[in-house]
Amino acid sequence: MSNSAVLAAEVVTKDYRVGAGTLPVLRGVSLDVRPGEVLAVVGRSGVGKSTLLHILGILDAPTSGRVLYKGEDLAAASPSRRAEVRNREFGFVFQFYHLLPEFTALENVLMPALVGAGPLAWLSRRRAARDRAGDLLRQVGLEGRARHRPSQLSGGEQQRVAIARALMNEPAILFCDEPTGNLDSATAKEIMALLFELNAGRRQTCVLVTHDETVARECHRVARMVDGRVAEVVAGRLRTG
Amino acid sequence: MHVLAVALRYLRARRLTWLSVAGVTVGVAALIVILSIMEGFQRDLRERIRGALADVVVRPRGDRRVSVELPRAEAVAGVAAASPRLSTVGLLVAQDAYLPVSLDAVDPEREPRVGKFGEFTARGVTGAAREWARWRLALAVGGSVEKSLGREIEDLASGGVLSGPERRERLGAEARLQAALERAAACGPTPATLVRLREAVAAASDLREAAGAVRAAAVALPEVAQDLEWIAGGVEARAALAEECRTRLPFPTSSGDVLPVLLGTEMTEILEFHGADFAKLLTARRPRRDEPTKDPVVAVTTPIVPVRRVWAERRNPEGRRDRVEISFQSGMYELDSGHALFSLEEAARRGLAAPDRFSEIAVRAEEGLEPDDLKGPLAAAFPGAEVQSWTDRRRSFLRAVQLEKAFLAVVLFMIVVAAGFNMLGTFLMMVAQKTRDIGVLRALGAGRLGVAGIFAGLSLVIGLAGGLLGTALGLLVAWNVNGIEGLVRTTTGLTPFPRELYYMDRIPSVVEPGTLAGILVPTLLVSVLLGGLLPALRASRLDPVEALRYE
Ligand SMILES: Nc1ncnc2c1ncn2[C@@H]1O[C@H](COP(=O)(O)OP(=O)(O)OP(=O)(O)O)[C@@H](O)[C@H]1O
Ligand SMILES: [Mg+2]
């Protein structure tokens, strides 16, 4: 494995128990994510892209294999450590936005900070966190919609809020699972542009699951999954400057 | 921190949760109100029983003399007062009535110091005085209106003065008099004022206050001033008598052959109902050595008369001497209808008891000392004697009352439990509805404990809110229960609390901090353990990936 990897999967397998038998979904995936890159993961539907992303993002545990984050095996880490890493180091953007409907856009963006802080810490940190959440909303172009509920926002706007939320705690890695899968092509372009802009601006490392070959080609590297394995990793068009 | 924020937001967003709060509120309020009133009644009852029985009773074995044993009891540390009693049972015979009675020959001055019979007698005198003033004022009303109506009222009222309440009720005199008085009040300002005065006197809690009201009316109404002055004087004399009874039972020094006995109000009414002017007391004693009988017991018949006070110098308008028959009122029917007291000395004088003999010494514990703590020292001072505290003597009854309260608490607590189940249903539904959001929170870094905390926190918040609201509501009602009862009485004409039935002028209600804690802590436990635990567990067990896939 390359020493320069910030996150690496080492022969990760994942079986699902279905009835009496098991369904092998990942059959030994090895993949590394390098700092500052946008890594696209492509493959047929059902090949296990989301499963791999969840395992990389330690939302899910692999059946076997290791997930190394900066050299630490997170697959073997304690639940509280895994929660801490998810909160501090990782950010997630989902296909269906997954905003919390009872909270405003601003509050949704604040949520990772809120989750990470105890009541006392929160009191001292609240101001700074609010300012940062406001900044993030401005960056994704939603400064006027801070007080709106998700139900008052369009799909594209909701996804922007979700991206701002994922960035709240300045994550080392951003995981995006088909972030444009539910949007029309014009909006999808805007969202992708936003993600690439983030990468260009602050060298945001990003793992991007996508169906869209043209989008994949725009990334630094493309991992193609076939039959539960990463069949090949090819270079995309993006170069780090 | 998110735990609190999310819990509060869910609480705000969902109307359903207020139903759970309302359930807890109602349960807690009901518990506080009912248990406070029960506590009030229980304390009152205990006070009465304790007053009738005295704190501790010592029954030495064998033939003992008051003059020897009483100083010994008084010398025991912690004894505030001691009084000898000679207890027996008998049959009260009055014309066609045979009434079983328990009899206590007592020391008129010592007895009020160990128990409450002085207080009970003062209460009986006060009640009788109020009653007397009402009938006398009715007569005054009769005298102040024109002939035929006036005569009607006088007939009804003098009948009332002469016979007891039960007989009056039976004759329907009370209702007819009330109607006649209302007609009289319409005749002019003087009868109207007198009718109102009559009602004020009936409601007055203090006799001196009532006498003052009558005197004030005498100044304002010159035409009936003489009557009113006389009535006021009578009430004052009775107030003084009540005061006197508190420290000395009002046995007259001597009445020839006839034994003056102090009866309870209920017994007096029964006798009045039977129209008995005099009665006899049937008791039994052991035959004397020299008596020519083989029977193990000898019956003793003693003529008795209710204790009365006569004011020889006060002649009433009909020319007779003003007098009152004195009876005690404990508020406990068995006692008021089946107990009689007479003076130990007088009983001995009439051969009803051997002089200076007693069967028990009643003792009052010093302030702050538990009666049960006095049992040891008394037992040491009277070796071989039977020593019983008042709670020993009514153990099963007191326990039954306590148990009744506990059962009622359990039954009422079911309201809270129902609210807990309501919470459980609401939260389980909420966990199902919020499955995806719980997955999102986990993805954002919330731990299992964190998401569990949201639902545990929700149940705690609801338990607290319901508990506090219920406490506020419960205290409001418990502290103002008499005002509320009055409101119900004036608006609906119903009588939720018949005062005569309980011998209480107000609903007793005692809020104990211990009871409050005993209600609130289990309420919070039920809220959290029944309402919150299972949903919290279920939320924490959700697999974040599954939850995120959930639509
Ligand atoms: N909990 C589960 N139990 C059993 N099978 C599962 C479970 N979760 C996922 N699978 C299966 O695992 C396989 C991989 O699913 P995954 O969602 O990772 O595919 P994907 O590549 O993301 O597909 P898509 O492009 O449609 O999102 C699928 O065949 C799916 O049916
Ligand atoms: Mg997928």
Whether B134 and B173 have beta carbons less than 8 Å apart is answered as no
Let me know whether B152 and B73 are in one domain. no
Residue A34 has pLDDT above 70, yes or no: yes
Question: Count of residues for chain A?
Answer: 241
DSSP code string of B487-498: HHHHHH---SS-
Residue-level pLDDT at B233: 92
- Which chain B residue has the Cα nearest residue A84? B445
pLDDT in tens, B17-26: 788 899 999 9
Q: Both B342 and B407 in a single domain?
A: no
CB contact under 8 A, A79 and B444: no
**pLDDT reading at A1 higher than 50:** no
By alpha-carbon position, which residue is closest to atom 28 of ligand 1? Answer: A46
Within 8 A of A96 by CB-CB distance, chain B residues are 551
Distance CA(A66)–CA(A62), nearest Å, equals: 8
Number of residues in chain B: 551
- Please check whether residues B72 and B139 belong to one and the same domain: no
- Spell out the long-range contacts of A63-66 with Cβ–Cβ below 8 A and sequence spacing 24 or more: A63/A13, A63/A14, A63/A15, A63/A26, A64/A11, A64/A12, A64/A13, A65/A9, A65/A10, A65/A11, A65/A12, A65/A13, A65/A28, A65/A29, A66/A9, A66/A10, A66/A11, A66/A12
Residue A84 — very low, low, confident or very high, per pLDDT cuts 50/70/90? very high
Confidence at residue B177, expressed as pLDDT on a 0 to 100 scale: 80
CB contact under 8 A, B442 and A83: yes
**How many domains in chain B?**
3
Domain boundary pick from B356, B384, B412: B384
- φ, ψ for residue B106 (rounded to 5)? -130, 170
Does residue B444 sit within a domain? yes
Match 């007397």 to its residue by tokens.
B132
> Exposure pattern of B508-530 as b/e (b: 16+ CB <10 Å)?
bbbbeeebbeebbebbbebbbeb
As to burial, measured by CB atoms within 10 angstroms (0-12 exposed, 13-18 middle, 19+ buried), residue B288 is exposed
CA dihedral B189, B194, B196, B198 (to 10 degrees): -170
Residue in B436, B446, B543 nearest the CB of A83:
B446
pTM recorded for the entire structure: 0.77
Domain final position from B247, B282, B312: B247
Any domain includes A197? yes
User: Facing residues of B362 across strands?
Assistant: B57, B83
Residue A216 has pLDDT above 60, yes or no: yes
Residue B433 and residue B545 in one domain? yes
Q: Is there a single domain that holds both residue B352 and residue B434? A: no
pLDDT value of residue B168: 54
Pairing status of strand A229-235 against strand A64-69:
unpaired
Which pLDDT score is estimated for B257? 80
How many of the other CB atoms lie within 10 Å of CB of B266? 20
Check residue B84 and give its pLDDT: 92
A23 is a domain residue:
no
Q: Are residues B269 and B363 in the same domain?
A: yes
Are B259 and B369 in a shared domain?
yes
**In which domain, by residue range, is B233 found?**
122-247
| Residue-range definition of the domain harbouring residue A215 | 34-61+83-235
Asked if B258 and B217 sit in the same domain, the reply is no
Of B439, B445, B551, the CB nearest to A115: B445
DSSP string, B183-211: HHHTT-HHHHHHHHHHHHHHH-S-HHHHH
Residues in Cβ contact with A3 at an 8 Å cutoff, skipping those fewer than 6 apart: none
A61: contact with B, CB 8 A cutoff: no
B chain contacts of residue A84, beta-carbon cutoff 8 Å: 445
Who lines ligand 1 at CB under 6 A? Answer: A 16, 18, 23, 25, 43, 45-51
Dist. CA B420–CA B429, nearest whole Å: 14
Looking at the structure, tell me whether residues B307 and B317 fall in a common domain. yes
Closest C-alpha to B55, from B332, B360, B363, B358: B363
- B188 with B223, same domain? yes
- Please give the pLDDT value at position B167: 57
The number of domains in chain A is: 1
**Closest approach of A209 to chain B, Cα-based (Å):** 16
Q: Name the token pair of B359.
A: 């069967």
Most ligand 1 atoms within 8 A of CB, residue of A50, A180, A209, A210 to mutate? A50
Q: Is the pLDDT of residue A213 over 80?
A: yes
Q: In Å, what is the CA distance from B446 to each residue of A87, A118, B1, B40?
A: 7, 12, 10, 51
Print the SS3 string covering B140-183. HHHHHCCHHHHHHHHHHHHHHHHCCHHHHHHHCHHHHHHHHHHH
Amino acid B362: pLDDT: 93
Residue A195 within a domain: yes
CATH number at residue A231: 3.40.50.300
Write out pLDDT tens, residues A121-169: 888 888 999 999 999 999 899 989 999 999 999 999 999 999 999 999 9
The answer to whether residues B130 and B500 touch, using CB atoms and an 8 Å cutoff, is no
pLDDT band of A177, cuts 50, 70, 90: very high
Atom 16 of ligand 1, residue of closest alpha carbon: A48
pLDDT (0 to 100) of residue B164: 56
Share of chain A above pLDDT 70, in %: 98
CA of A89 to nearest chain B CA: how many angstroms apart?
10
Amino acid at residue number B258? V
pLDDT (0 to 100) of residue B154: 77
Interface predicted TM-score (ipTM) over 0.85 = yes
Per-residue DSSP letter, B357: B
Percent of residues, chain A, with pLDDT higher than 90? 71
- SS3 category, A61: coil
pLDDT at B40: 92
> Is B212 a domain residue?
yes
Residues B274 and B194 in one domain: no
Whole-number pLDDT of residue B551: 63
Residues of chain B falling short of pLDDT 50: none
The full 3-state SS of B440-489, as one line of letters, equals HHHHCCCCHHHHHHHHHHHHHHHHHHHHHHHHHHHHHHHHCHHHHHHHHH
